[in-house]
A and B are shown apart, each in its own frame.
Chain A
């Protein structure tokens, strides 16, 4: 758990982060979203004290971060950044081993951990362990960057626009993979992004920042349906609201008995995808399958109701 209390940062007389308080529960993903220069990165870097707060405190699992030396604190917290920051002169294996080595794990344990992480991130250890970062694609570099951040099994992972350098198709896959890995490991994540789509896709809670202030901190559904003010509403985009709302849930939770004509939709597809398919194929209902087995149908009428502002 991360408790941020009245955290501020003043750079050369200008307040870049202004008394921000928020709590991230264990196993949650907090997506910090806002325009460029709103203080997201500074807020994130105050959690592992890459930036020393001007005022306020950060507690991690109840312990004040000031009770540790900065470098000790940072070895316990995963950190992944845009452009991944891989060490160009070290192999993939050596890069991932960075923090375990600092923590003086023995060789066998490190080597086993490196292979475990490479496998987790769908990179064949035998093939990738000895490569240099420049011999990887952008998507592979990004995965190695996150694997490196998770190497010592931290409870907390800080990510600053981790997918910012990826093209849209790879980015989507990287986001899904991160969610799967996060569910498996139960890591608490604070993720900075300027992309509201990414925040909604990944965040269990979203923190909206503007000019150093925290404007709203709530679940994606709450943010979409009840934006705290004009700025948050603009960030979501009023024309996008029904679709964003639908993207939060999956078909499985809204199936009805019965059948329908035409191609079926997977039970784990988002409502948004199902809705789009209805409109595009001009159907009133779609058959739903789970692992190839027909389990019911989803109707356009139901989807339309779900897309409406909750009363």
Chain B
């Protein structure tokens, strides 16, 4: 019996049940509230908020993946090698500026709403994805590359048929890290009126309602665990398929 798998399946079921019917969990959270405050957040639909939170995370991570992987491919081609140091600094800057500062800077340009947090998460995700994509592409064995060239694959065919499939597991590690960071960082988006689970947590903090803080935090945590483990499992399968990792 695989207890890890059982735990994750149970977690997914509980999460889904809570999002679909939060009120049935009210008795559990009741002891945390005082003076008849509500134990379940009702200023918005929890399922909708969660889906929107996930959507923002997904969109930002996808955009960061396309940009960072594209950049990594570019700088590992002969004609793009000279841009490697520059792109490294760009990715590093993206990581160094705190997302809160990005939010503050983005508001005058983009206004309140979803856009500032998308920009902040996009920038934050660049570095892990870029560095892992670089490592993956650089680690393609020399004799494999040499054989591919020697058999008459064009540069494009080598990239698509050899380099990317072999780099994929390592790339996926970077994407997973970025996705999980984005998922938790997205909570601060509610400070600029993006609809994320941060609004549940903040509502709890401002009204001193521990039940709100807890349910907001736990939903984010559960999503993070499930996404992390799902991508990790995919990485393992791919790594085994490409014959680069021993059995995990």
Contacts and interface: CB of A to CB of B under 8 A. Distances in A.
Interface in B153-197: 153-154, 157, 162, 165-166
B143 A72 contact: no
A98 interface: yes
A50 interface: yes
Interface stretch (B42-50, B58-66, B237-245): B237-245
A134 B150 contact: no
Contacts of B152: 71-75, 99, 102
B243 A79 contact: no
A113 B184 CA distance: 54
B148 interface: yes
Contacts of B162: 87
A102 B153 contact: yes
A88 B242 contact: yes
B224 to A, nearest CB: 30
Contacts of A83: 143
A98 B161 CA distance: 10
Chain B at the A interface: SS class:
helix
Interface string A64-108: 000000011111000101111111110000000011001000000
B150 A74 contact: yes
B147 A74 contact: no
A191 to B, nearest CB: 14
Interface in B120-156: 141, 143-154
A247 interface: no
Contacts of B146: 50, 81, 85
B233 to A, nearest CB: 18
B222 to A, nearest CB: 34
A81 B150 contact: yes
Interface string A122-135: 00000000001110
Contacts of A71: 152-154
What 8 pairs between A and B have smallest CB-CB spacing? Answer: A85-B147, A75-B152, A79-B150, A74-B152, A88-B243, A85-B143, A89-B242, A134-B243
